[in-house]
Structure 1
Amino acid sequence: MSDASTPPVLPSHGRYAYSAITRRPVYDWPEGKRLALYLGVNLEHFAFGTGLGAELAPGGPQPDVLNYAWRDYGNRVGVWRMIELFDQLCLPTSVLVNSSIYAYCPEVMEAFRARGDEILGHGRTNSERQGILEEAGEKTLIEETTAVIRAAEGKAPKGWLGPWISQSHVTPDLLAEAGYTYLLDWCQDDQPIWFATRNNGRILSLPYPQELNDIPAIVARKDSASQFADMIIDQFDEMLEQSKAMPLVMGIALHPYIVGQPYRLRQLRRALAHIVAKRDEVWVTTAGAIAAHVAALPEGIIPGSRGA
């Protein structure tokens, strides 16, 4: 007979232990800054007439031309307007790329490569989820994605975001074993933390936004372009204030077929200009640079590290 006063032990992922953000060691980003900010630009390619895909309007029978064409606008038009904006504001980006993009529109990747932006793995296509695959199939998906990026960029990506934020019970293990050093799928914190992986390994979990993300905000909640821009500004101002006491990471997740629409782009420009105006107070960088900085810190500082 169980003791009713004993708290229940629930199933756990086993990747990290609880850690209150207000009770952790304090450290700095470069130049003594406390807020690190990165832009996560999702470059996604979708199968025609099958598979998954975000919807502007409820989809009809396949082929769902309306929603397929809306998503394709991002690769044909929206992404180029966004690159112009990033150039105007001198903003680096972390590009989360479906590997099928390289065959479909290599010009896009050439443009980001010319800018010197960071490239991360984002699966083969957002028409599929990796988390529903058997381990062998998921391992193949990661390997195929990595091989395409390595062949095009001359080096393998270090960071990963699963298509549709999809993970199985072994995804962090497979990523670490494939040479990835950090992942972005989890949104449980405002600081990077170490995840445990099998065989006594580990991989860094970097904060990735699900609130400050145009798919949940605009597609799911139906927030307006101006509301999304206001969210970015309010998040930035509040986190800049909070960062006086501790280091924080702020990510902004963007999709060209959503914020690349002209009326949304204008509002995005307003929000990013607000950030750039305070650039001296924040480390505007890439996800990979944040991960590298954290990995170089002494053990015992980051939750999940030895001695922490």
Structure 2
Amino acid sequence: MSLPPAYLEYDKRGYGQDIGRYDWRLAKDRAPVRLKNARQVAAMIVIPCEYHPIDPHKTPFGHPHGMVTPFPDLRHFTARDYGNRVGVLRLLDALKSAGLKATFPVSAALLTRARPLAEAIVGDGHELAAAGLHGDAIHHAGLSESEERAMIEDVREAFDAAGFHPTTWLSPARQESFATPDLLAEAGFTALLDWESDGVPLPLRTRGRPITALPLLNELDDFKLLVERKQTEDLWTDQILEAKDYLKTEHDRHGAQVLGFTLTPFVAGQPFRMRSLVNMLAEFAGDEAVWCARADEIVKAF
């Protein structure tokens, strides 16, 4: 049976890719960026502090970090709560000891539940970013634009009411609708952590001003490697350090690039993982070719 002619018709199809947010190009055709601080790699550590409701609707799907078993899933709910009350403090201490800065996307629902956490993040000089309303408030194409705009406005209002004004956004489950970048730019966000299209910050076209996508590598995510793939802690940190060293070898050819990876508080903040994590952070701190910076700082530098 042959396919109908309409099957091959797609009005967004274009040269190299089927998306219009940015121009298609190969890495070899990209003008190399030489950072003013002469560093070869910009390391972006992202620590999402998300609130996951115990009774998620899971529309259109459940967040990978959310509840797993039927209601009330107290085991997974309390594990996530442990991350935001205990594990994240270990990560803050480890960063302070290494002298490194990170970006902390926080759910709006945590601002009233864990105000001291937000204050500790800002107090240590880290970037407080927005991680949507909570882990069950997924952005997707099934929402009307007015519904999604209202969700983003609720997030902005919650942060404003708490006295914080983030410019960087991480969507719950890193899921978007076709309109999400437009609506985020409209709401005043200037950086986005959902995409990983390039090795450098990439300005995305929107209906208004651009919003910059920074590469956050899903393949180095601690939840994916330690929980889903069941790798050892040392292998996980070795992979991150290997990525750092490899990007340095590409500097002469491709210029400075961004190494973005995630530390999830209920995963990386476990006591039996701290030795490997502390050793990895020490390697970053001691590498003069590497600049560990906040997402907002990286956008400005590039």
- Please state which band the TM-score falls in when normalised by the shorter chain: 0.7 to 0.9
1:91 corresponds in structure 2 to 100
Q: How do 1:22-33 and structure 2 match up within 5 A? A: 22-33=28-39
Name which of 60, 65, 68 aligns with 1:59. 68
TM-score (norm 2): 0.88
Q: Which moved more, 1:126-135 or 1:102-111?
A: 126-135
- Say whether the 8 Å CA contact 2:132–2:152 is kept in structure 1: yes
Q: Name the aligned partner's letter for residue 44 of structure 2.
A: Y
- Say whether the 8 Å CA contact 1:55–1:219 is kept in structure 2: no
Name which of 110, 118, 135 aligns with 2:145. 135
Match of 1:37, SS? strand
> How far apart are the structure 2 equivalents of 1:54 and 1:171?
20
1:72 corresponds in structure 2 to 81
Residue 53 (structure 1) shift: 4.7
Match of 1:219, SS? helix
Match of 2:216, SS? coil
Q: Which moved more, 1:160-169 or 1:181-190?
A: 181-190
The alignment covers a number of residue pairs equal to: 284
Deviations 1:155-189 (Å, cap 9, x if unpaired)?
A: x2111110100100000110111111121111121
Name which of 290, 293, 299 aligns with 2:298. 290
> How far apart are the structure 2 equivalents of 1:107 and 1:55?
23
Q: Name the aligned partner's letter for residue 124 of structure 1.
A: L
Residue 228 (structure 2) pairs with residue 220 (structure 1): yes
Residue 19 (structure 1) shift: 0.8
Residue 60 (structure 1) shift: 2.8
> How far apart are the structure 1 equivalents of 2:65 and 2:298?
32
> How far apart are the structure 1 equivalents of 2:295 and 2:35?
13
Match of 1:237, SS? helix
1:48 corresponds in structure 2 to 54
Q: Gapped runs of 5+ residues in structure 2? A: 1-7
- Say whether the 8 Å CA contact 1:94–1:287 is kept in structure 2: yes
2:3 corresponds in structure 1 to none
1:16 corresponds in structure 2 to 22
Q: Closer, same or farther in 2 for the Cα pair 1:153/1:140, shift >3 Å?
A: same
Residue 54 (structure 1) shift: 4.0
Q: How do 1:260-279 and structure 2 match up within 5 A? A: 260-278=269-287
TM-score (norm 1): 0.86
Q: Gapped runs of 5+ residues in structure 1? A: 1-6, 295-308
> How far apart are the structure 2 equivalents of 1:283 and 1:59?
37
Deviations 1:226-267 (Å, cap 9, x if unpaired)?
A: 221111111111112222331200112111000001112221
User: Equivalent pairs: percent with the same residue?
Assistant: 30
Q: Closer, same or farther in 2 for the Cα pair 1:123/1:222, shift >3 Å?
A: same
Compute the RMSD of aligned alpha carbons. Answer: 2.0
Deviations 1:97-149 (Å, cap 9, x if unpaired)?
A: 10111111111111112112111111011123122432112111111111222
Q: Which moved more, 1:129-138 or 1:202-211?
A: 129-138
Name which of 111, 114, 131 aligns with 1:105. 114
2:174 corresponds in structure 1 to 165
> How far apart are the structure 2 equivalents of 1:16 and 1:184?
16
1:181 corresponds in structure 2 to 190
Match of 1:251, SS? strand
1:299 corresponds in structure 2 to none
1:4 corresponds in structure 2 to none
1:147 corresponds in structure 2 to 157
Residue 245 (structure 2) pairs with residue 237 (structure 1): yes
- Say whether the 8 Å CA contact 1:173–1:197 is kept in structure 2: yes
Residue 55 (structure 1) shift: 5.6
Q: Closer, same or farther in 2 for the Cα pair 1:222/1:261, shift >3 Å?
A: same
Match of 1:244, SS? helix
